[in-house]
Amino acid sequence: EQGYAVTEAQYGAMARLSKLWENYPEMRALFWRDGGPAKPGTVLTNPEIGKLLRDVADNGPDAFYSGATAKAIIGAVGMATNNPSMITQADLTAYSAVARPPVCVTYRSYRLCGMGPPSSGATTVFQILGMLERFDMGALGKDNPVSWHLIGEAMQLSYADREKYLGDADFVSVPVKGLLDHDYVASRSQLISMDKSLGSYIPGTPPGAAPRTNAVSSEVAGTTHFTAVDGAGNIANMTSTVEGLFGSQLIARGMVLNNELTDFTFAPEKDGEPVSNRVEPGKRPLSSMSPTIVYDASGKPILALGSAGGKRIIMHVTKALIGVIDFGLPLEQAFALPNIYFGGNGLLVEAETPLADMSGELSRLGHLVVASNLPSKLNGAERTDKGWVGAVDPRTKGKAATQLP
């Protein structure tokens, strides 16, 4: 209602979509000024979403899934200029947010909890950490190419399991306990050598796993994350997404509608076996959202963090956790550590960083190393001797708000 100033990042995103928005007058009405994307510093208001939020606050979920909001969603999708589709009141009535138990593990002397299926975040992050636990990552340190070699090996083994087994547990059997089983993770870790890359990374067979096939999903980076801690110690640690810049480009009551269908794997089966993340009515798609809270040995929360970045979210969060827990860095310095990922049979390292400078050593360990642009948008908060302190990824222009007592 009061508005906010357009940032350079938002302006860049809107500028990239200028041609597309020629077919979306509602987006232009909301985000354009003087015939083009609103320039940085322009104050934009969105009174309609203010009304929507007040409506939900006053009247609860029914104000979202029925009444004016439901009609707006149905109309926006059904009367879209491009690819109009049908959502019915029955669809919205049948939908409900489901409270799901967290996935928790122990790493070193800490307890870590994260988000379970249909997010692949916690299982994949925690598998990577579990595979690394037998190595003295602290002694190796952040400036040692062997550290990043080990992270890269555990990453690719864990992602192989992710692609095969993860999906919506309401529709497929997801072996969460098996994927995090101590003996299973230890057996996967034994595949990792300190002086030679494995070269081929295939899924394992965790306890309790039903027959599945390996099929890569097409997750698009369009995610956001925030961490908030209040004076009483309550923590909100939330990752969400509309899938791609401005989602579907459709608006209902000031709200940008998502484009989450692209998070599904579009092949229903492969090699005669069902794909865990295939499209099915009422199913929630697989994501990589990885909001994580860390507790010390006494059970006190000491760290909360998450990131944007599509499938790379998992690795952004993982390297930050390693940075704090193993390398002993303050959270903001852990966020600043180089990003690492994989693709095209190569190990992707963030260009113009100390990690890129290690390319020669990583190549001698058997990796095909490719320096790449790997942006991230981590943020979080950590408990220090001075109280809770916020931290943000130096790759972004965000700022932590306030230090709490």
Q: Which residues are catalytic?
A: 223
- Whether residue 8 contacts residue 397, with contact meaning beta carbons closer than 8 Å, is answered with yes
Q: Which residues on adjacent β-strands are paired with residue 265? A: 278
- Whether residue 392 contacts residue 335, with contact meaning beta carbons closer than 8 Å, is answered with yes
- Whether residue 314 contacts residue 120, with contact meaning beta carbons closer than 8 Å, is answered with yes
- Whether residue 282 contacts residue 117, with contact meaning beta carbons closer than 8 Å, is answered with no
If phi over 0 gives left and psi between -120 and 50 gives alpha, with beta otherwise, what is residue 327? Answer: alpha
Tokens of 98: 């489901």
* 46, HSE (Cβ side, Cα atoms, 13 Å): 20
Q: Could you tell me where the beta strands, DSSP code E, fall in 64-189?
A: 103-107, 110-114
Q: At what angle do helices 47-59 and 67-78 cross, to 10 degrees?
A: 140
DSSP label at residue 311: G
Q: Which residues on adjacent β-strands are paired with residue 103? A: 114
DSSP label at residue 21: G
Tokens of 19: 């041609």
Q: What is the b/e burial string over 155-177, where b = at least 16 CB atoms within 10 angstroms of the residue's CB?
A: bbbbbbbbbbbbbbbebbebbbe
Of 180, 187, 202, 201, the C-alpha closest to 114 is 180
